[in-house]
């Protein structure tokens, strides 16, 4: 984990602690342009960096969905070369997704299963 901040051009400008996902998590983006598959590359409590080659660059708002969880409404802050920076409120669905991402970082202890 590291601190990062991202701007419209993709340079670092985010204030919240960012979780890098390796490998990226598959998600679905929904917008006025339709439904698109995407990859979640990093996430923080207030936003995320997503890769999607299908989403038009003029989209202002979208919805993130993962594993049939509640949807997260997000504002597009920047788009550059298939990367999308979004901001969202720290709602229960956003906290749930962030928690899922944190769990991916912690190896499971076989003795605790």
Q: Delineate the domains of the chain, giving CATH numbers in brackets.
A: 2-105 (2.40.10.220)
Instruction: Return the ∠ at Cα 15 (arms to 54 and 105), rounded to 5°.
Output: 70
Residue range 37-51, pLDDT digits in tens: 999 999 888 899 999
Structure-block tokens of residue 112: 């605790």
CA distance 47 to 75: 9
Phi and psi (nearest 5°) for 30?
A: -120, 135
Residue range 7-34, pLDDT digits in tens: 444 555 555 677 888 888 899 998 888 8
Structure-block tokens of residue 110: 């076989």
Higher pLDDT, 70 or 24: 24
CA distance 20 to 44: 9
What is the value of pTM for the model shown? 0.74
Cis peptide bond upstream of 24, omega within 30: no
pLDDT of residue 7: 44
């Amino acid at each position: 984990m590291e601190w990062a901040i991202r701007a419209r051009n993709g340079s670092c400008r985010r204030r919240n602690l960012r979780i890098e996902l390796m490998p990226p998590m598959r998600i679905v983006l929904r917008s006025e342009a339709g439904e698109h598959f995407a990859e979640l590359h990093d996430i923080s409590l207030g936003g995320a960096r997503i890769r999607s080659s299908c989403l038009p660059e003029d989209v202002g708002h979208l919805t993130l969905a993962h594993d049939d969880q509640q949807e997260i409404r997000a504002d597009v802050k920047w788009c550059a070369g298939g990367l999308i920076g979004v901001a969202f409120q720290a709602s229960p669905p956003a906290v749930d997704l962030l928690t899922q991402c944190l769990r991916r970082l912690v190896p499971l202890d076989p003795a605790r299963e």
